[in-house]
């Protein structure tokens, strides 16, 4: 099977755009279409079709105990997927503030939704993406889309259509190429089925932003699941978002330079992920990838940087830690999971 790539500009996205109509037909026929969101590219299938959803797991080589996020085009679509009894006030307050946007809500699942979407759990994770191509595709398809990140399971998430093809070319039907994503890390996952609500995965909506709406929101909870049991949230495997190379997190620029010299002395090749304020100290340390200045830029460029250095074939990738505050909480989470990969 050859994966088709359809290019579409953000400002041209509409439910009647020819590329969107072709992609929507693939969805309705039970196929798989990768598409851009504001966070990362998602791999979409009809969330109401269990066979189509099973195709996502096969294409990604994703374990069946890792639930998927369902993407909708309107807050009104949530009622058909989730039972909001007792949660309506909280859910509506969050939806009014953060949708469309990078916030996923975990809610009680209605029986009509295939259990496979939620890895057998009685909950469902739902969000409304803030990207015109994603919204156009959902509307044209006429169904909610189950859509994890469009990459091999456990690998670095894709922020461009080329990243998708690098991982899944020939394993999915099509990709809608809407250009690079704007946030670059996945959505925040907030569990509303517990009281007080708890963050299961940090992401594009910060803990501080959530607590401004719901003061009782608890910080990120360690996710523990016994072997074979369903994970309560996507993206919470201890090892995730990982490049092929070994990722080493350093405290500061001084440690980064020392660790680089030590790795080189062992005959290992090294690439650096650098923030703007590290360029002067590290400009002779090739190869490196510039993440930018500020947490927004670092988040936007993180996965592209990991993939770019991996493509050069380096043995080790070195990066300095970011403060666990604001968007830095999501960045630090992704780095920690990527660095947890078992090394030979």
Q: Does residue 250 sit in the same domain as residue 206?
A: no
- Identify the DSSP state of 290: E
Range of the domain at 323: 246-339
Q: How confident is the model over 276-308, as pLDDT tens digits?
A: 999 999 999 999 999 999 999 999 999 999 999
- Identify the DSSP state of 9: -
The reply to whether the predicted model has a pTM over 0.85 is yes
Where does the pLDDT of residue 334 fall: very low under 50, low under 70, confident under 90, or very high at 90 and above? very high
Q: Does residue 142 sit in the same domain as residue 184?
A: yes
Q: How confident is the model over 129-181, as pLDDT tens digits?
A: 999 999 999 999 999 999 999 999 999 999 999 999 999 999 999 999 999 99
Where does the pLDDT of residue 217 fall: very low under 50, low under 70, confident under 90, or very high at 90 and above? confident
Q: Does residue 63 sit in the same domain as residue 187?
A: yes
Q: Is 67's pLDDT higher than 70?
A: yes
Query: HSE (CB half, 13 Å, CA atoms) of 179?
Result: 12
> Does residue 82 fall inside a structural domain?
yes
CATH code, domain carrying 302: 3.40.50.11030
Q: How confident is the model over 80-113, as pLDDT tens digits?
A: 999 999 999 999 999 999 999 999 999 999 998 9
Q: Does residue 71 sit in the same domain as residue 15?
A: yes
> Does residue 230 fall inside a structural domain?
no
Bridge pairing between strands 246-250 and 316-320:
parallel
DSSP string, 219-287: -PPPP---TTSPPSSTT-SSS-SB-SSEEEEESSHHHHHHHHHHHHHTT--EEEEEEGGGHHHHTTS-S
* Listed residues 166, 198, 213: the one ending a domain: 213
Q: Does residue 23 sit in the same domain as residue 118?
A: yes
Beta bridge partners of 4: 174
CATH code, domain carrying 138: 3.90.870.10
Where does the pLDDT of residue 221 fall: very low under 50, low under 70, confident under 90, or very high at 90 and above? low
Q: Does residue 207 sit in the same domain as residue 63?
A: yes
Q: Does residue 184 sit in the same domain as residue 95?
A: yes
CA 6 to centroid of chain Cα atoms? 21
């Amino acid at each position: 099977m050859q994966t088709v790539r359809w290019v579409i500009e953000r400002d041209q996205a509409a439910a009647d755009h020819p590329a969107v109509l072709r992609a929507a037909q693939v969805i309705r026929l039970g196929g798989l279409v990768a598409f851009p969101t504001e966070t990362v590219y998602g791999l979409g299938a009809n969330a109401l079709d269990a066979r189509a959803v099973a195709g996502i797991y096969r294409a990604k080589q994703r374990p069946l105990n890792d639930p998927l996020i369902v993407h909708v085009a309107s807050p009104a679509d949530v009622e058909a997927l989730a039972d909001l009894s007792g949660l309506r006030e909280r859910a509506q307050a969050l939806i009014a503030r953060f949708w469309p946007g990078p916030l996923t809500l975990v809610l009680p699942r209605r029986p009509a939704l295939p259990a496979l979407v939620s890895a057998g759990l009685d909950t469902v994770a739902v969000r409304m993406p803030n990207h015109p191509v994603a919204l156009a595709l959902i509307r044209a398809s006429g169904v909610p889309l189950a859509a994890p990140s469009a990459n091999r399971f456990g690998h670095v998430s894709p922020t461009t259509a080329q990243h998708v093809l690098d991982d899944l070319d020939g394993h999915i039907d099509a990709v809608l190429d809407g250009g690079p994503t704007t946030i670059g890390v996945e959505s925040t996952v907030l569990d509303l089925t517990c009281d007080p609500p708890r963050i299961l995965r940090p992401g594009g909506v910060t803990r501080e932003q959530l607590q401004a709406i719901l003061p009782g929101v608890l910080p990120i909870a360690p996710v523990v699941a016994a072997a074979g049991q369903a994970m309560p949230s996507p993206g919470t495997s201890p090892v995730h978002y990982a490049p092929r190379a070994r990722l080493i997190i350093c405290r500061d620029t001084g440690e980064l330079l020392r660790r680089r010299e030590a790795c080189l002395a062992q005959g290992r090749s090294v690439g650096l992920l650098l923030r703007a304020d590290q360029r002067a100290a590290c400009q002779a340390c090739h190869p490196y990838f510039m993440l930018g200045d500020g947490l927004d830029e670092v988040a936007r460029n993180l996965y592209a940087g990991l993939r770019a250095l991996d493509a050069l074939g380096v043995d080790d990738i070195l990066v300095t830690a970011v403060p666990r505050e604001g968007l830095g909480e999501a960045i630090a989470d992704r780095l920690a999971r990527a660095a947890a990969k078992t090394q030979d």
